[in-house]
C-alpha cells in the first residue's frame, strides 16, 4: 500500500483531490438537506411539546432556517471561488508579485503573502458575515446596534483575528525551518504553547476591547455563586459580567482560562432575563467545565490533533507538491497557505463529528455537575426552557446534524437528563 502511494503520479493525486471535493459537496448537501427536513420523529416532538409551545418550535425553526438557501449556495461558491483562483494561478501570481516587491524572506515575502491571502479570503467571506452577523440578527430582533456599530466590531475582530492567525503561521513556519528533520514533533508543542498564551490573554486583553468587564455587584446572588464555587472546589474570588446587551439580546455564560487563571463570565442579559436560581444553575454548569478542566483538555487534544496533522502533512507533502496548480513551494513556505486552507475547509467537515462528540460529552459532564451542586432539577429544566426561548433554539433539529455538527446536546436531551437525575 505504501509503495503504491509513493508511486502515485501527479495525475492520480489530482484525481484524488477532486474526489475529495466531490465527497465534500455530497456530504454538505446531505447535512444541509437534513437541516431542511429537521426531525420528524413523533415521539421526539411529543417530548418537546411537554415543555415548549408550537409557537416556540416555529420561532426556533424560523431562526435556524433564516438564510438557508443563501448559506447553502454561498458555501459552494466560496470553495469553488478559491479553487478557481488556485487553478487560474491567482495566488501564484500574487506570490511572485509580492516577492518582487518585498524581497524573499520569512518577514518579507512570506509575511506579506500571509496577510494578503487571509484578507482575500476574508473579503470573499464578507457577504456571509454581513448577512448572518448583522442582517439576520437585526431582522430577527436580536441586534441592539446599527450597521456602523456592527461594522466597527467586525473590523476590530478582523484586525485581532488576522494578527493572531498571522502570528501563528509565522511561528509555525519558523519552527519548520529551524527543525527541518524534527518539525513534525516540535510543531505541536510550540503551537500548544501559543494556544495556551492566547487562552490566557483573551480575558485580560482582548475581551476588554469589546466589552466592559466588571465584577458582579455585591449581594445575595454574588454570595450564593461564590459559595457554590467553593462547594465545587473552585478557587475563585470573583465573578465577571460583560455587557453583551450593548450588542445583542442573546443570553449566555462561558468558562475560560486554565490553572489559577480560570474564570467564569456571565452575560448581563442572562442576569436580567433569568431568576437568580436559574442564573446560579447556569453558573454551576460553567463550574462543571472548571471541575473537569475542559479548557485544558481541549488544549491537550488540540496538541494531539496538531501532531496528527503534522505527521500526515509531512508524509503526503511530496505527493501534493507534484500537482503544479496547488502552488506548493516547499513544506515550510507561506506560498502553500491558500491550498492548505482550502484543504482544511474540505477535511474539517469530515472531522467535525469527532470535535462535536467530544464537546457534547463535556457539556453533559458540566450539566450533571450543575445538578449535583444545586439539586435544583426543576429550576434547571426551567432555565433550559428559558435559554432556548431567549436564543430561539431549533427545538426539532435533525439527529444527523446534531451528531455531526452540534457542540451542545439539543435542549430536550438536556431536559431529559435532568428528569432522570437522581441526587447522590
The three-point CA angle 55-60-63 to 5° equals 125
The three three-digit cell numbers of residue 297, written as one number: 483538555
User: How is residue 323 annotated by DSSP?
Assistant: S
In a domain, 266, yes or no: no
The three three-digit cell numbers of residue 193, written as one number: 504553547
Bridge-based pairing of strands 240-242 and 253-256 is: unpaired
In a domain, 224, yes or no: no
In a domain, 83, yes or no: yes
pLDDT tens, residue by residue, 92-110: 999 999 999 999 999 999 9
Distance from chain centroid for Cα 147: 24
Residue linked to cell 426539532: 396
In a domain, 222, yes or no: no
In a domain, 248, yes or no: no
Distance separating alpha carbons of residues 377 and 387, to the nearest angstrom: 15
Question: How many C-beta neighbours within 10 Å does residue 387 have?
Answer: 21
In a domain, 382, yes or no: no
In a domain, 198, yes or no: yes
The three three-digit cell numbers of residue 177, written as one number: 525551518
Question: How many C-beta neighbours within 10 Å does residue 75 have?
Answer: 17
The three three-digit cell numbers of residue 405, written as one number: 455538527
The three three-digit cell numbers of residue 239, written as one number: 465573578
% helix / strand / coil in the chain, to the nearest 5?
A: 75, 5, 20
- Report whether 98 contacts 113 (CB < 8 A): yes
Q: What residues have CB less than 8 Å from 316, skipping those under 6 apart?
A: none
Distance separating alpha carbons of residues 131 and 143, to the nearest angstrom: 13
- Residue 118: give the domain boundaries: 2-211+291-351+388-401
Low-confidence ranges of the chain (pLDDT < 50): 1
pLDDT of residue 259: 65
Distance separating alpha carbons of residues 266 and 295, to the nearest angstrom: 17
Q: What residues have CB less than 8 Å from 195, skipping those under 6 apart?
A: 299, 302
Which H or E run contains 263? strand 263-267
Q: Is 255 helix (H, G, I), strand (E, B) or coil?
A: strand
Q: Is 338 helix (H, G, I), strand (E, B) or coil?
A: helix
- Report whether 95 contacts 117 (CB < 8 A): no
In a domain, 186, yes or no: yes
Total of domains in the chain: 1
pLDDT of residue 237: 62
Distance separating alpha carbons of residues 232 and 287, to the nearest angstrom: 7
How many Å is the Cα radius of gyration of the chain? 24
Is the overall model pTM greater than 0.85, yes or no?
Answer: yes
The three three-digit cell numbers of residue 244, written as one number: 453583551
pLDDT of residue 393: 95
Which of 53, 161, 165 is closest to 389 using CA atoms?
53
Which H or E run contains 93? helix 90-102
Distance separating alpha carbons of residues 390 and 274, to the nearest angstrom: 10
- Report whether 326 contacts 320 (CB < 8 A): yes
Distance separating alpha carbons of residues 407 and 417, to the nearest angstrom: 17
pLDDT of residue 277: 81
Which H or E run contains 234? none
Bridge-based pairing of strands 263-267 and 240-242 is: parallel
Amino acid at each position: 500500500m505504501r509503495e503504491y502511494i509513493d508511486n502515485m503520479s501527479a495525475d492520480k493525486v489530482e484525481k484524488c483531490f477532486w474526489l475529495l471535493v466531490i465527497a465534500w459537496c455530497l456530504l454538505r448537501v446531505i447535512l444541509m438537506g437534513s437541516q431542511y427536513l429537521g426531525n420528524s420523529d413523533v415521539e421526539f416532538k411529543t417530548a418537546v411539546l411537554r415543555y415548549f409551545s408550537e409557537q416556540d418550535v416555529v420561532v426556533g425553526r424560523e431562526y435556524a432556517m433564516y438564510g438557508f438557501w443563501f448559506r447553502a449556495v454561498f458555501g459552494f461558491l466560496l470553495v469553488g471561488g478559491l479553487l478557481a483562483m488556485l487553478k487560474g494561478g491567482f495566488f501564484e501570481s500574487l506570490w511572485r508579485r509580492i516577492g518582487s516587491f518585498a524581497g524573499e524572506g520569512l518577514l518579507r515575502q512570506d509575511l506579506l503573502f500571509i496577510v494578503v491571502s487571509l484578507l482575500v479570503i476574508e473579503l470573499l467571506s464578507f457577504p456571509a458575515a454581513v448577512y448572518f452577523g448583522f442582517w439576520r440578527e437585526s431582522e430577527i430582533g436580536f441586534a441592539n446596534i446599527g450597521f456602523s456599530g456592527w461594522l466597527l466590531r467586525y473590523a476590530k475582530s478582523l484586525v485581532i483575528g488576522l494578527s493572531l492567525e498571522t502570528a501563528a503561521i509565522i511561528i509555525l513556519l519558523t519552527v519548520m525551518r529551524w527543525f527541518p528533520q524534527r518539525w513534525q514533533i516540535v510543531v505541536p508543542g510550540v503551537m500548544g504553547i501559543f494556544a495556551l498564551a492566547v487562552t490566557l490573554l483573551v480575558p485580560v486583553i482582548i475581551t476588554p476591547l469589546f466589552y466592559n468587564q466588571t465584577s458582579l455587584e455585591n449581594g445575595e446572588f454574588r454570595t450564593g455563586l461564590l459559595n457554590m464555587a467553593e462547594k465545587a472546589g473552585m478557587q475563585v474570588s470573583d465573578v465577571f459580567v460583560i455587557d453583551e446587551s450593548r450588542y445583542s439580546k442573546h443570553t449566555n455564560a462561558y468558562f475560560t482560562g486554565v490553572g489559577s487563571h480560570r474564570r467564569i463570565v456571565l452575560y448581563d442579559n442572562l442576569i436580567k432575563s433569568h431568576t437568580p436560581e436559574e442564573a446560579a444553575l447556569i453558573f454551576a454548569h460553567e463550574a462543571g467545565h472548571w471541575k473537569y478542566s475542559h479548557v485544558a483538555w481541549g488544549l491537550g487534544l488540540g496538541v494531539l490533533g496538531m501532531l496528527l496533522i503534522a505527521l500526515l502533512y509531512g508524509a503526503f507533502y511530496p505527493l501534493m507538491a507534484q500537482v503544479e496548480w496547488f502552488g506548493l513551494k516547499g513544506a515550510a513556505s507561506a506560498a502553500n497557505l491558500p491550498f492548505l486552507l482550502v484543504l482544511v475547509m474540505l477535511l474539517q467537515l469530515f472531522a467535525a463529528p469527532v470535535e462535536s462528540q467530544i464537546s457534547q460529552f463535556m457539556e453533559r459532564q458540566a450539566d450533571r455537575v450543575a445538578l449535583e451542586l444545586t439539586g435544583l432539577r426543576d429550576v434547571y429544566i426551567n432555565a433550559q426552557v428559558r435559554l432556548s426561548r431567549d436564543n430561539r433554539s431549533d427545538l426539532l433539529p435533525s439527529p444527523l446534524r446534531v451528531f455531526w455538527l452540534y457542540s451542545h446536546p439539543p435542549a430536550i436531551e438536556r431536559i431529559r437528563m435532568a428528569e432522570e437525575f437522581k441526587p447522590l
